[in-house]
Amino acid sequence: MDGFQITRFLAIFNSSVPNKIGPVRSGRIPFVEIAKQWMLPFVHYGAAQTGQGDAYSIIRNTKWPVRFDGVSGLNDDYFYRDSSRNAPHNAYFRGADALAKVTEMSVSEHFEFNDKSNISGSNVNKVSFRYSGQLTNAYEYDLDSQMYKRFLNGNSMIDLNTGNQITVKNVLVIHAPHRSAEVHNYALIDFRGEGKAEFFIEGKHEIGVWKNENNLIQFYKVSGEEIVLLPGNTWIQVVHEDVKITLGE
């Protein structure tokens, strides 16, 4: 997030790709670093190009399977503007249609999934992160659906495509060093080595470790056992040392 104020998302789609994805924004270096670990088709609407925050050079010098760029004109016929929203928050991507440009490819597994997780921590039904004075993210575990409901500044975070509140199966937190660069205060994140991680699965909270092994971030219990996730969507929050994490039952 620029200036450590408003967060952006990097979305990775697996079995289901919607035909309205967005709003799509310009690329930033931390997102590109994570995307390179997966080497999937990459979608962005331009990118930062200034000094230490120059993400565009990294994107252009990476051999993606296919790239969609709404600014440079690269496969840009899959982008469109939604007139109901103001620019720059109204650029969207026809994901399902764009699959026509994607050839069949083999992708290695990055996480272990099972119908039963190996989380064994304490019961925590609510977690919130205050990234800045104007932005608080929160998750509340709903026992009936066995999903985490997502909130933004105390309000239900709604999927505009469905009108439903966003729900999440696994919530992971990466604690990593941050620094800002250039006049725009681009956030640069150090994903090297390892650091503290937190896992929220099935209404339980456990502290563990993330490790960057061969340019791939993996998650482990303190014992060294790899974390097992439940089938479903997974949200990973990356926080810096000044972010306060509040837990509640």
Mean pLDDT of successive 10-residue stretches along the chain, which has 249 residues? 71 92 96 95 96 97 97 97 93 97 88 95 93 86 97 94 96 95 91 96 97 94 97 95 85
What's residue 98's pLDDT?
Answer: 97
- What confidence score (pLDDT) does residue 5 get? 62
Whether this prediction's pTM lies above 0.75 is answered by yes
Token pair in block for residue 157: 């975070």
* DSSP state, residue 38: H
pLDDT of residue 184: 87
Of 178, 188, 176, the C-alpha closest to 53 is 188
Q: What does the pLDDT read at residue 131?
A: 81
Q: What is the Cα Rg of the chain in Å?
A: 18
Contact 171, 127 (CB under 8 A): yes
Q: State residue 67's pLDDT score.
A: 98
What are the beta bridge partners of residue 170? 201, 234
Block residue for tokens 């790239």:
67
Domains in the chain with CATH codes: 2-101 (no CATH), 112-248 (3.50.90.10)
Query: Which amino acid does the sequence have at 61?
Result: N
Q: Is 86 helix (H, G, I), strand (E, B) or coil?
A: coil
